[in-house]
Structure 1
Amino acid sequence: MATNTLAPQPRYIWQHPAWPALVFDAVAMAPELDLARMEQGKLLGLLEAIGLGQAQEVRRELWVQEAIATAAIEGEKLNLESVRSSVAHRLGLTDAPSHDRHVDGLVLVMQDAIENHQSTLDLDRLCRWQSALFPGGTSGITRIAVGRLRNHADAMQIVSGPLGREVVHYEAPPSSQVTGQMEQFLAWFEATRPTQGAAPNLHGVARAALAHLWFESIHPFEDGNGRLGRALVDMALVQDMYAHDHGADVSQVRVFGMAGQMLKTRAAYYDGLNTAQRIRQPKPRGATIDVTPWVRWFVQAFVQGCRTCQTVVRQAVDKSAFRLQAAQCGLNARQHKVLDRMLEAGNAELGGGFLGGMTPDKYARVTGTSKATATRDLTDLLAKGLLRGQGAGKATRYAVNVPGWQQAAETSN
């Protein structure tokens, strides 16, 4: 007697009969896409208005923040000084990179995606990016396949939760399908590349959203897919920026804060991807796959990323004005060193700030001087209007007196 075996119901986006025909409602999204273009233009306009030196400082700070954020999304905490050193080297500001090959590899991938955005994106290039992320051929202490697409027989799953109680959020196509799927993706990425002066068939920010979803859905490598997918976002956004000259010197900025925004809203980012990657109806039909909610989330994140970058630009202008003021105050070397450290820590409102403010004890440690000298130096800086104090007596904490900047609380991380 024959057994009637029912085929398993498709669960994931790549099992949809229309895959990979991803579409979104361009009419419904028009106001948000217009807003994205406006915020992008504001950022470029701000950068055009400041000098080359300040623009370089902004560019370095944005790269540092994005490198740290894209790693943090994956649960990796990078050393800040190593990232700063590597970024400065890649931007030609120092001769030597950091001593952390892992950090250098990530920054190198970002640089190639952004600065060589006009070069063809092919499979060999992606494999070299993935290899750069894992210079020792390991992820942690686990050996992984580097520089090539995954080929293991086991399912590629995105899971969370403790061992034995894992939750499967997504299962990617089997390894046997990855080569063909990547060929389709890369052909689409090149075919939809924006061309300067030509009317685009696809809005550049929406294209970046679709590219990220498509790449992450294939999940072509054994590890590093998230970082590579976000590098592709940067590449797509820079291609869009260069195709749409906003009248600004676009060479001064090539990062729009997407990784930072994704980190701030990591739960929503993962939820958005997870929702878009799952089939919600038991028998999917249609010639296309509507991913409008994902594109909407991505565009809104882009808008917020641009606004955060605008704030970073304004912060750079604040730093420059403060340094000019300090240069006219006849400070000693100790005072300059401490003020530079406090400025580097940034504005607490943006997640920076010198933890708990400056105190005589901290000042003495930073400068290698006595507490009495530290107290005199701080009192002098306060009198000259370069610091502002909070509290009284031994409980006094000092912050740089930059208008609008907040002091980091003692309990900040």
Structure 2
Amino acid sequence: MIKNPKWIWQRSEWPRFAYNSTLVAPAVAEAHWMHGMLEGKSQAIGFESFQQIALDALVDEVISTAAIEGVRFPRELVHSSVVRKHEFTSRRTDSRNVDGLVDVIDDAISHADQPLDADRLCRWQSALFPGEVSCTQKWVLGRFRDGHGRMRIVSSKHGQEVVHYEAPPSSEVPNEIARFLKWFDDTKPAQTQRQGLYVDGFVRAAIAHLWFECIHPFEDGNGRVGRAIVSMALAQSLRETTGLYSLSCQLFTARSEYYGALNSAQRGAIEVSDWVKWFIGQSTKACAIAIKNIDQVIEKRRFWERAQESALNERQKRVLHLLLDTASRTAPDGLNAEKYMALTGVSKATATRDLSALVNSGQLFTLGAGKARRYHLTVHERCRKLSLGSGAVF
């Protein structure tokens, strides 16, 4: 090994990752507690709502894991691909790249019990770039990189490059991947239970992602494949074939922190407690966002249950539906009489009467007075208070 190693894989201890269990224990406990809360609340929303939240989470995961790498997929395309995938239809979208990434993430979660081997990794990477051809360079798709040049992650302008990371030589990739895959198989929940060992699922996912990204076995797509491995690891640990939250969505939100934490771990010692703790914290935050979404579903259902007790006319019901589903677009600053008139086509007197009735029956509340008066859904105020009440998570 190199005397003064710059990268973690150059250290003599590589790849025997270590972490301080006492240091990461609070993060692990909070992640499991938050996931338990999410699982419990998901049982209270009914099958259809559960399916919708799971679908939205998968859509968010696909969009965000691509966006982290600077690839932008339109939400409607991703949504269409996910729906068709789960309706078991052979029809595809107009974007093979979208379908490919949906297939990869769905395979990682839905078939988490199947072995992860080199062939599966290569098929995942190939699916990300269907039919892709470069006019200026030869892409290596569906197999590990085998070039003689160095694999570097570089930014900045030509001549002023900043090397963020340099991966092991291509000649070492097959052996490195073989060691990684053996560890991944040996630490599966089913394996560790038989051996009387215990490897926490969140810790395992954090180390698996770091380890794979350090090897960087492909010429492109390493981040997306690496996050699919995280999805697979968590599905194995949490015993779920349907994800209810998107970790990649949270990683995209904290993208600069994500790259910083990853780069720091790749340059650091084999003791990776800081990375593990940070990564698990992102999973906790992702769960908290999913819980907030479920709280909103539950509160909306309660809202309509209360509304059934009021004699609402069709205009009022239509406007309430619009506000519940598209308030940020329909009335971003709150509803007023003029907006209600535009939505329903009624006179100002009728609009005022309808709005007053909705306030009196508890569907709306008001802020401001006179021309500045705005009407807001009571469900949004309750959901806001619910989210403020979960401040301990952040």
TM-score bin, normalised by smaller chain: 0.7 to 0.9
**Alignment of 1:310 onto 2:291:** yes
Map of 2:247 onto structure 1: 258
Map of 1:237 onto structure 2: 234
AA matched with 1:171? E
DSSP-derived class of the 2:243 partner: coil
Following superposition, the deviation at residue 76 of structure 1 comes to 2.5
From 156, 161, 171, the equivalent of 2:156 is: 161
Map of 2:390 onto structure 1: none
Instruction: Tell whether the 8 Å contact from 1:127 to 1:148 is kept in structure 2 after alignment.
Output: yes
The whole-number CA distance in structure 1 between the counterparts of 2:245 and 2:297 is 16
Map of 2:167 onto structure 1: 172
Does the C-alpha gap of structure 1 residues 95 and 380 become closer, same or farther in structure 2, counting only changes over 3 Å? Answer: farther
**Alignment of 1:272 onto 2:261:** yes
**Alignment of 1:115 onto 2:110:** yes
Identity %, equivalent residues: 40
Following superposition, the deviation at residue 393 of structure 1 comes to 8.2
The whole-number CA distance in structure 2 between the counterparts of 1:131 and 1:107 is 13
Instruction: Tell whether the 8 Å contact from 1:216 to 1:225 is kept in structure 2 after alignment.
Output: yes
**Alignment of 1:222 onto 2:219:** yes
Following superposition, the deviation at residue 354 of structure 1 comes to 6.8
Once superposed, what is the RMSD of the aligned Cα atoms? Answer: 3.6
The whole-number CA distance in structure 2 between the counterparts of 1:259 and 1:330 is 42
DSSP-derived class of the 2:258 partner: helix
Map of 2:65 onto structure 1: 70
CA deviation string 1:122-170 (max 9, x = no partner): 1111111112211231589976322111122222111222333221110
Q: Calculate the TM-score normalised by the size of structure 1.
A: 0.78
Does the C-alpha gap of structure 1 residues 335 and 395 become closer, same or farther in structure 2, counting only changes over 3 Å? Answer: farther
Instruction: Tell whether the 8 Å contact from 2:203 to 2:276 is kept in structure 1 after alignment.
Output: yes
Q: Calculate the TM-score normalised by the size of structure 2.
A: 0.81
Map of 2:100 onto structure 1: 105
AA matched with 2:294? V
The whole-number CA distance in structure 2 between the counterparts of 1:152 and 1:31 is 43
Instruction: Tell whether the 8 Å contact from 1:382 to 1:388 is kept in structure 2 after alignment.
Output: no
AA matched with 1:320? R
Does the C-alpha gap of structure 1 residues 327 and 157 become closer, same or farther in structure 2, counting only changes over 3 Å? Answer: farther
The whole-number CA distance in structure 2 between the counterparts of 1:156 and 1:364 is 62
The whole-number CA distance in structure 1 between the counterparts of 2:352 and 2:15 is 62
More helix per residue: 2
Following superposition, the deviation at residue 209 of structure 1 comes to 0.6
Does the C-alpha gap of structure 1 residues 111 and 154 become closer, same or farther in structure 2, counting only changes over 3 Å? Answer: same
From 24, 33, 51, the equivalent of 1:38 is: 33
Instruction: Tell whether the 8 Å contact from 2:341 to 2:351 is kept in structure 1 after alignment.
Output: no
**Alignment of 1:294 onto 2:289:** no
The whole-number CA distance in structure 2 between the counterparts of 1:295 and 1:162 is 32
AA matched with 2:173? V
The whole-number CA distance in structure 2 between the counterparts of 1:191 and 1:176 is 25
Does the C-alpha gap of structure 1 residues 364 and 13 become closer, same or farther in structure 2, counting only changes over 3 Å? Answer: farther
The whole-number CA distance in structure 2 between the counterparts of 1:194 and 1:307 is 25
Counting only pairs closer than 5 Å after superposition, residues 116-135 of structure 1 correspond to structure 2 as 116-135=111-130
Following superposition, the deviation at residue 325 of structure 1 comes to 5.7
Map of 1:286 onto structure 2: none
CA deviation string 1:298-347 (max 9, x = no partner): 122222222222112212223333455667866659964x765654458x
Does the C-alpha gap of structure 1 residues 200 and 376 become closer, same or farther in structure 2, counting only changes over 3 Å? Answer: farther
Instruction: Tell whether the 8 Å contact from 1:205 to 1:237 is kept in structure 2 after alignment.
Output: yes
Does the C-alpha gap of structure 1 residues 173 and 330 become closer, same or farther in structure 2, counting only changes over 3 Å? Answer: same
**Alignment of 1:209 onto 2:206:** yes
CA deviation string 1:23-71 (max 9, x = no partner): 1112332233222222221111111233112211211122222222212
Query: What is the number of equivalent residue pairs in this alignment?
Result: 376
Map of 1:411 onto structure 2: none
The whole-number CA distance in structure 1 between the counterparts of 2:141 and 2:18 is 32
The whole-number CA distance in structure 2 between the counterparts of 1:226 and 1:383 is 54
Instruction: Tell whether the 8 Å contact from 1:60 to 1:91 is kept in structure 2 after alignment.
Output: no
DSSP-derived class of the 1:10 partner: coil
Following superposition, the deviation at residue 205 of structure 1 comes to 0.8
The whole-number CA distance in structure 2 between the counterparts of 1:134 and 1:91 is 22
